[in-house]
Structure 1
């Protein structure tokens, strides 16, 4: 399964769940907000196959639903929205 992820930092409450569940994917910036290590939170780099289950669990466990996942890069989703 192809999966991409990013964090909505506007809703992140820095609870630490994602970093505990998927430490190879999520870290925290200087403000304590989570972000994706894969691509500095752009959502453009595919989650490695061996980490997909951890990312899905982090997505499910996030209390504010700030962990976003998609089957295509987030940049492509933005372009489709702009195109109409």
Structure 2
């Protein structure tokens, strides 16, 4: 099953834990908040299956629960952060 991810920049505290465990998926922006590298934090690019373990490690390790994972694209989803 496909997976998509996005970071809620409103709740991200910029600790960098996600980019430490999943550097191919997450990085910090100029303000220090995390974002997805796959699609510039749009939540529209499929996460490659070989990165699923890193994705879930980052998700589980996010202290502010800002990383979101879904089976469908976040594009056009007004409730994407619920």
Q: In structure 2, the residue corresponding to 1:35 is in which secondary structure?
A: strand
Distance in 1 of aligned mates of 2:73 and 2:52: 15
How many residue pairs end up in the alignment? 79
What's the TM-score, normalizing by structure 1? 0.88
Give the drift of 1:6: 0.4
Aligned to 1:11: 11
Aligned to 1:71: 71
Give the drift of 1:8: 0.2
Distance in 1 of aligned mates of 2:4 and 2:43: 6
Unaligned runs of 5+ in 1: none
Distance in 1 of aligned mates of 2:42 and 2:53: 20
Of Structure 1 and Structure 2, the greater helix share is in 1
Q: In structure 2, the residue corresponding to 1:63 is in which secondary structure?
A: coil
Higher CA-based Rg: 1
Aligned to 2:55: 55
Aligned to 2:42: 42
